[in-house]
Amino acid sequence: MSQRQGVALKVLLGLSTLGSVAWGVTRVTERQYVFDDAFITFRYAQNLARGNGPVYNVGEPVEGYTNFLWMLFAAAAEAAGTSPLLVSQVIGTSALVSAILLTSCLLLRYAEPSLAGLAVVLIPPTLALPKHYFTFAASGLETSFVAGLCLALGLLDHVFEPKTRTGRALRSAVPLAVVTTRMDASLFVLASMGVVATRVYLGERNLRAVAIELSKRYAVLVAGCVTWLGWKYAYYGELLPNTYYAKAGDLVSLEAGSLYLVSFLRSYPNVIIALPFALIGALAPPRGLRWFGAWAGAALTLYVAYIVKVGGDFMHYRFAFQAYPVYMALAAVGLLTLLERAGALAVVLAALVCLSSPGRPVLETKYGMQKIKEMDYYYRHGKRVAIGLKKSLPKDTIISTGLAGTMSYFSELTNIDELGLNDHYVARLPVKQLGLRARGHLKHAPFSYMSERGVNLVYMHPRICRCAKLCRLKKPTVFTRLDERDCVRGEYLVQTPELTRYFCDRPDEFVLDRVECPQDTKQKGLIVAGKPHQKRARRKKTRIPALLPRH
């Protein structure tokens, strides 16, 4: 074991780590893709910071977010007068950088200084090179934060044993942070608890010792979860978030989930090439990493089963990327073992993993996965429309849309979520199976329900067209001017005399189609291509039972 080789390993691994961090941060900052869904959480944070509670619409306690701790971060940013998107980007990027640093520390501690051992410098780039992996750090979503937390959980529980009281307190806090940020990430915590219990039992052969150790490590988790879930049930009337029902989480979607995983592997072949490393890491890790390998293998197995069961997600492999750092850390452990037994083979495979990391994303389109650019477009499109609506519409106007994030956050209007993520009634509409091109959004609010809720303007995915060349519907329509050229179209569903007069008195802000204006307003008659039109028959109303849950 040469001292010179040891120094070379540290230097090269340090350079590889710094280069990976720099590359990843550069990719985050040079082109930021932001997702509309992030602003659903920011809407709840906005209301919480204003004293209205964590709600989507004031007075309607429905849990349409799945990231409680992330929502609290955003609420703190709102209360401080800072952009929650900026705060989320800083936290997300920091978490991914931390994942690279933690993996490098793992390699530095256990890698054997040798010529073949220098292959470990190829691991850090695999956490920075995958296309769109770092995109989630700037998206506003909690994905990157959860990914970093899960890796930190495994290392603190099974590798880097804390020696100080502060370190042990941090170790106790991480599992609670994981669970309260993403409930599905609790699978990583459950796997860790199982491995800790197994390790203590094999060493002590005493169940009492197991109970004592688990209580020391996870008392904060248990107390925190009992408090959090108790508050959730008291406030929302349910333990599971409303999105579970809106996305038909109770269904088994094996075909969609399998296609999701297959397409992810096609997009990122480095994951397939690293599979031998991951299997070795789980089954035959080096001494000192036995329990980390067992934890990572068990956690990833549970998580893959979960993805297959729920059918994946429509946001460009978001679920898969949430577990990616843990997978690559497990692969790094397997690489350490293979370097001891078949150095040349390990070096070749490590080089292939690194070279194939950038990949070329292949979207699974059968069940409606969306492109990164498409999701970013929805954010920019919805933000533009919402700002225009906030400027022009009365504050008591009720709208409905499928862009539940940006349209509600930037307009600050009461918004009925047409896809049900933030609506108790729509989320519980029946659905028997996962529909084609509908992963994640299976239900839609019927017009009869929106009428009952008093929706004035229906937008779904807002349509923008030229004010001089309107994109008409055969229904009463209000076109709101966004600028001198463009108007956004809204179906005028529930009409009130006050709102109609408001529109008719402002021809510079609104263009009306099939809307009857009073004779004493600036716009006269029913406007259809400049000609009068007969009044449409009144829409038949259907009675909708139990709009909101009882509390």
Give the pLDDT of residue 70. Answer: 97
Residue 257: inside a domain: yes
**83: three-class secondary structure by DSSP:** coil
pLDDT at 53 over 90: yes
Mean pLDDT of 263-268: 92
Give the pLDDT of residue 86. Answer: 96
Contact (CB, 8 A) for 47 and 4: no
Residue 360: inside a domain: no
- With residue 69 as reference, give the H or E element that holds it: helix 68-79
Cα dist from 14 to 8, 357, 450, whole Å: 10, 20, 58
118 and 189 share a domain? yes
Residue 323: inside a domain: yes
Mean pLDDT of 315-336: 95
Give the pLDDT of residue 542. Answer: 39
Mean pLDDT of 368-396: 93
Residue 101: inside a domain: yes
Mean pLDDT of 364-369: 80
406 and 317 share a domain? no
Structure tokens at 258: 């399998």
pLDDT at 551 over 70: no
Mean pLDDT of 328-335: 96
**518: three-class secondary structure by DSSP:** coil
412 and 264 share a domain? no
Mean pLDDT of 205-232: 94
Give the pLDDT of residue 471. Answer: 93
122 and 260 share a domain? yes
Query: pLDDT band at residue 537, thresholds of 50, 70 and 90?
Result: very low
The fraction of the chain above a pLDDT of 90, given in percent, is: 74
Query: pLDDT band at residue 2, thresholds of 50, 70 and 90?
Result: low
Residue 385: inside a domain: yes
89 and 174 share a domain? yes
Residue 169: inside a domain: yes
Give the pLDDT of residue 535. Answer: 43
Overall domain count for the chain: 2
Report field, pTM of the whole predicted structure over 0.85: yes
Query: pLDDT band at residue 536, thresholds of 50, 70 and 90?
Result: very low
Mean pLDDT of 516-534: 62
268 and 395 share a domain? no
Closest CA to 149 of 94, 227, 196: 94
pLDDT at 527 over 70: no
Question: Which residues, listed in sequence order, are joined to residue 398 by a DSSP beta bridge?
Answer: 414
Give the pLDDT of residue 533. Answer: 40
Mean pLDDT of 182-202: 95
Domain that holds residue 431: 372-526
**415: three-class secondary structure by DSSP:** strand
Query: pLDDT band at residue 21, thresholds of 50, 70 and 90?
Result: very high
Please indicate whether residue 251 or residue 222 has the higher confidence score (pLDDT). 222
Residue 48: inside a domain: no
Contact (CB, 8 A) for 241 and 64: yes
Give the pLDDT of residue 113. Answer: 82
- pLDDT tens-digit series, residues 417-474: 999 999 999 999 887 555 544 666 778 899 999 999 999 999 999 999 999 999 999 9
pLDDT at 94 over 70: yes
Mean pLDDT of 91-107: 95
350 and 381 share a domain? no
Give the pLDDT of residue 131. Answer: 86
The DSSP result for 263-293, as a single string, is HHHHH-HHHHHTHHHHHHHHHSPPTT-HHHH
Mean pLDDT of 160-166: 89
335 and 450 share a domain? no
Cα separation, 248 vs 427, in Å, equals 8
The fraction of the chain above a pLDDT of 70, given in percent, is: 93
pLDDT at 400 over 50: yes
Give the pLDDT of residue 252. Answer: 75
Residue 366: inside a domain: no
Closest CA to 140 of 28, 302, 265: 28
514 and 378 share a domain? yes
Cα separation, 220 vs 175, in Å, equals 9
Cα separation, 172 vs 158, in Å, equals 13
Cα separation, 79 vs 84, in Å, equals 10
Closest CA to 419 of 372, 461, 476: 461
Give the pLDDT of residue 529. Answer: 43
Please indicate whether residue 82 or residue 531 has the higher confidence score (pLDDT). 82
102 and 230 share a domain? yes
418 and 330 share a domain? no
Give the pLDDT of residue 187. Answer: 97
Mean pLDDT of 388-404: 96
Structure tokens at 273: 């090439």
pLDDT at 347 over 70: yes
Average pLDDT, the chain: 89
400 and 428 share a domain? yes
Cβ of 324: how many Cβ atoms within 10 Å? 25
Cα separation, 160 vs 286, in Å, equals 15
